[in-house]
Amino acid sequence: MAGKAAAPGTAVLLVTANVGSLFDDPENLQKNWLREFYQVVHAHRPHFLALHCQEFGGKNYEASMSHVDKFVRELLSSDAMTEYSRARVYLDEDYKSQEHFTALGSFYFLHESLKNISQFDFKAKKYKKVTGKEIYSDTLESTPMLEKEKFPQDYFPECKWSRKGFIRTRWCLADCAFDLVNIHLFHDASNLVAWETSPSVYSGIRHKALGYVLDRIIDQRFEKASYFVFGDFNFRLDSKSVVETLCTKATMQTVRAADTNEVVKLIFRESDNDRKVMLQLEKKLFDYFNQEVFRDDNGTALLEFDKELSVFKDRLYELDISFPPSYPYSEDSSQGRQYMNTRCPAWCDRVLMSPSAKELILRSESEEKVVTYDHIGPSVCMGDHKPVFLAFRMAPGAGKPHARVHKCCVVQ
C-alpha cells in the first residue's frame, strides 16, 4: 500500500485534528470523520503517519471514556490500517488533574515496510527500536518517550479550566532526526475584546505560549533536531482589520448592558440599502450576512489578515495555504460547508516546521508534486474543525548533511 513504485524516499503524512465535536456527538460524526481520514491515508499511502488530536474526549472526558476507547480501537484495528504493523498512542487522560490535563492525543503509525525508524527516549537520551502497538494514557508524566507540558494558569487567567499545552516526541527516520510537537494554544474568549485592538490581546497570549514551546524544544537539554509543530494554534484573523474591510461602508451601533453600561453588542448597518444589517458582533457571535466571502477562492482574499505567524517568520515555516478557514464549521452532521455564526472563520489548524525541516521536505529532483498541504472532508461534517494535513516524501539521505549532528540516531 505505502508509496508509489517510482517515487523515491519515505512517504510521510502529518495530520492535525481538533476532535472535540466527535465525542460530543459520536453517533453522527465519528463514522464520517474516520471514512474521510482513511481516504486521505489511502490517497497518500504514507510509510510514517502522525495524527495529532486536540480536545480528545470532548468537553466532558469522563463521560466520553467509552467513546474514546472505541475510537482508539477502531484506528488501531481498522481494515484501512492493517499494513501499519507498529503504532504508538499517547493519550492524556488525566482529566482529574487541573494542573496537568491537556486533552491531547498523539497517534503514530509505522508501515510494515518501514525498516529504519526509531524513537527517542528523553530520559535515557537514546533512540529505541519501535515494535508492536502500544497505548500510553494516564501515565504520560512518567513516560520517557515524550515530553508533555500544560501552559501555566497565569498565561490565560480568565480561563480557569484551560486545557492548553503540548506533547513532544522525537523520531529518527533514515538517519534524520526530527521532533513532532502536538500543540493547542489559547482561543479568543470574546469577539468584542478581540475587536478592540490590533493585534488582539489574545494574539499576544498565543505569541507568548508558542514562543515558550519553541524555546523549550531547542534548549540545551538535547541535541538539536528539525521540528514539525502541528495542532490547533487557534490563530485568528486580525479582527479589527477584518471588520473594517467587511463593513467599509457601514455605520456602527453600540448596544450596552443597562445595569453595567458594558458593551454587549455591535451592529454594523449599510449606510444606504434600507440600513441592512451586515454584521452583528457579540462575545460569542460573529454573524456576517454573506458567508461566501469565507469560501470564495478558499477565502484567500482574507489571508492578508492572517498575521499571527509573522512574528515567528525566522523560526517557523508554512507552505502556502490553499484551503478555506478550518474553523468554526457547523456541527450539524448534514452540513459540511456551513460555518457557525460564533466566530470569524480562521485558519486555526496548521502544520508548521523549522527552517531545517523545510529543507527536508522540499527537495525534489523531479517535477512530480511531492508535497500536499490541505484539509480533510471539504464537503462532509467533520465537527467544528476540519483536520489539516501535510503529505510529503523525505528524500533518501535527507539528513546526511546533518549526520554529524545526528550521530545519536543509533538504535540502542
Q: Helix-strand-coil percent breakdown of the chain, rounded to 5?
A: 25, 30, 45
Residue 230 has pLDDT above 60, yes or no: yes
User: What distance, in Å, lies between the first and last C-alpha atoms of the chain?
Assistant: 29
DSSP secondary structure code for residue 366 in this structure: S
pLDDT of amino acid 85: 97
Residue that the C-alpha cell 461602508 belongs to: 249
**Residue 117, φ and ψ in degrees, nearest 5:** -130, 135
Residue 292 has pLDDT above 50, yes or no: yes
pLDDT of amino acid 168: 98
Residue 16, Cβ density class (10 Å: 0-12 exposed, 13-18 middle, ≥19 buried): buried
CA distance 22 to 67: 9
> 123 versus 405: which is more confidently predicted?
123
CA distances from 49 to 42, 109, 186, 325 (A): 11, 5, 26, 24
Residue 397 has pLDDT above 60, yes or no: yes
> 108 versus 161: which is more confidently predicted?
108
Could you tell me if residue 275 is left (phi over 0), alpha (psi between -120 and 50 degrees) or otherwise beta?
left
Average pLDDT, integer, range 177-182: 97
| In the chain, domain spans | 10-236+291-394
For the stretch 80-120, pLDDT in tens is: 999 999 999 999 998 888 889 999 999 999 999 999 899 99
Residue 95, Cβ density class (10 Å: 0-12 exposed, 13-18 middle, ≥19 buried): middle
pLDDT of amino acid 362: 59
**Residue 160, φ and ψ in degrees, nearest 5:** -70, -25
Report the percentage of the chain scoring pLDDT > 90.
Answer: 80
pLDDT of amino acid 412: 53
Bridge partners of 198, per DSSP, are: none
Residues with Cβ < 8 Å from 80, sequence gap 6 or more? 38, 41, 42
- The residue type found at 334 is S
Q: What does pLDDT average to over the chain?
A: 91
pLDDT of amino acid 65: 85
Average pLDDT, integer, range 151-165: 81
> Which range is most confident: 65-69, 363-367, 404-408?
65-69
For the stretch 297-346, pLDDT in tens is: 999 999 999 999 999 999 999 999 999 999 999 999 999 999 999 999 99
3-class DSSP assignment, residue 323: coil
pLDDT of amino acid 404: 43
Residues with Cβ < 8 Å from 231, sequence gap 6 or more? 16, 52, 54, 104, 166, 181, 182, 183, 184, 185, 349, 350
> 361 versus 210: which is more confidently predicted?
210
Residue 6 has pLDDT above 70, yes or no: no
pLDDT of amino acid 403: 43
For the stretch 16-71, pLDDT in tens is: 999 999 998 899 899 999 999 999 999 999 999 999 999 999 988 888 888 999 99
Residue 256 has pLDDT above 80, yes or no: yes
- Given 3.60.10.10, 3.90.1300.10, 3.10.580.10, 3.40.50.10190, which CATH number is that of 10-236+291-394? 3.60.10.10
For the stretch 195-216, pLDDT in tens is: 999 999 999 999 999 999 999 9
CA distances from 154 to 24, 150, 157 (A): 29, 11, 5
3-class DSSP assignment, residue 173: strand
